[in-house]
Amino acid sequence: MAEVPPGVKGMNDILPPEVSKWQFLEQKARDVLDAFAYRELRTPILEYTPLFVRTVGEVTDVVEKQMYTFDDRDGRSVSLRPEGTASAVRAYVNESQWNKEPVTRWYYLGPMFRHERAQRGRLRQFYQVGAELFGAGEPSVDAEMIAMLVALLTELGLPATAVDVTINSLGEPEERTAYRDALVSYYGAHRDQLDEDSRRRLETNPLRILDSKNPEMVALNAHAPILIDVLGAASRDRFARVRELLGGLGVRYEVDPRLVRGLDYYTSTIFEIKSSAGDLGAQNTVAGGGRYDRLVQSLGGPAVPAIGFALGVERTLLAMSDPAESYEPALGVFFAPFDAAALTYALPIAHELRTKGLRVEFEHRSASVGAMLKRANKLRARAAVIIGPNEVASGQLTVKDLAKGTQSLVPAAELEAKLREMLD
């Protein structure tokens, strides 16, 4: 036997019935985002590497350790996108989108790539539903976006008590310089306790130390200075207003002054959502996001404020506790022809029903009626159409109601109407 070629580690095939649950999530996401007037953006999966270095940040786990980066045949370094915001901002700037509309709301849905240690809820190819809003820096935008995300999770069936929103404010970059100094002196005093990454980051990007997952660093981080204490009045007032508006929208949230995000572009409000529902395990952060008011400008555009989030699809699916089968569409009709003559007669009839939008499975293999009906039941068909020599001769088809077990003879011309009545 030939050896089975393996799929790439951390990258999954998604098969039915699981794919039905995916489609349900995707459709709900489109519906909710549409209600908030977001429109879909599709960008390439591959970008030139410097885009991510300049946006996500050179000294981040994503860029330092996780990107799939290689030279293409022209010798230019390209990377599989590890996230969607960088491409959205690139497209926004390339298209001079601010000239077309004052406020742009985009969403996207698709695969992202990070070479992480694969485990439950952590993949190397994973999917995100993301949204980005450009052109409005008001605190109400932040509140609206977080409330939209919670609404989506609710629509997906997550119980409100299992959706934990955490928010924080990173203030403005200027405010963070004072904070950076405070961190340098704190970690400098504990230099012997720093791991290798953190020691390096102390020189390059001390804020990133706060994001470390190393348990020893987490303990040290617990006593690090808190950013919110050094924020100016404007940033604090803004954050207070975001909280007030969130309260008005009925969003339950907690402020975590130690929340930082793993990407460098954030300013002001940041947020994460964890879920205790379903089957998530340790990787229970289902979504994250925040403001990035300086990013458009840093990629050569004007000073346009922006905010966004991304929802991890696989993690969200794990939090949705209903089994994949429950999202499967029921099969409408099963066609069971007895023999070659019946098949010849029935195939055009089934074809016509399909073109009229009925979901029809047709048995092409010769089998006993019993075996065919068994298969129809297994497929959860509502009705079976049975065609034997008598049916072909009379033009009357046997229609069996698989739920009730009853059957009747239906003239071919009335078949569609009869089936629709049963399927309603």
Assess contact for 406 and 386: CB atoms under 8 A. no
Give the footprint of ligand HAM on residues 266-285 (CB under 6 A): 285
How many other CB atoms are found less than 10 A from the CB of residue 221?
19
Among 153, 286, 336, 372, binds ligand HAM (CB under 6 A): 286
Nearer Cβ to ligand HAM (311/350):
311
122 binds ligand HAM (CB under 6 A): yes
Interface with ligand HAM by CB under 6 A: which range of 28-36, 81-89, 187-195, 414-422? 81-89
Shortest Å, Cβ 120 to ligand HAM: 10
Would you list the DSSP string of 127-177? EEEEEEEES---HHHHHHHHHHHHHHHHHTT--GGGEEEEEEE---HHHHH
314 binds ligand HAM (CB under 6 A): yes
Nearer Cβ to ligand HAM (317/373):
317
CA proximity to 114, closest of 102, 126, 124: 124
Assess contact for 251 and 147: CB atoms under 8 A. yes
113 strand-pairing partners:
125
Among 41, 150, 231, 310, binds ligand HAM (CB under 6 A): 310
Residue found by looking up tokens 């098969």 in the block: 15
Among 61, 83, 293, 363, binds ligand HAM (CB under 6 A): 83
Nearer Cβ to ligand HAM (54/400):
54
Distance between CA 200 and CA 202 in Å, rounded?
5
Interface with ligand HAM by CB under 6 A: which range of 195-203, 212-220, 303-311, 393-401? 303-311
Shortest Å, Cβ 57 to ligand HAM: 12
Interface with ligand HAM by CB under 6 A: which range of 37-45, 183-191, 307-315, 401-409? 307-315
Distance between CA 149 and CA 219 in Å, rounded?
31
Helices 340-355 and 415-423, axial angle in degrees (round to 10): 60
- Binding region for ligand HAM (CB under 6 A): 83-85, 114, 116, 121-123, 126, 128, 130, 132, 262-263, 285-290, 292, 308-310, 312, 314-315
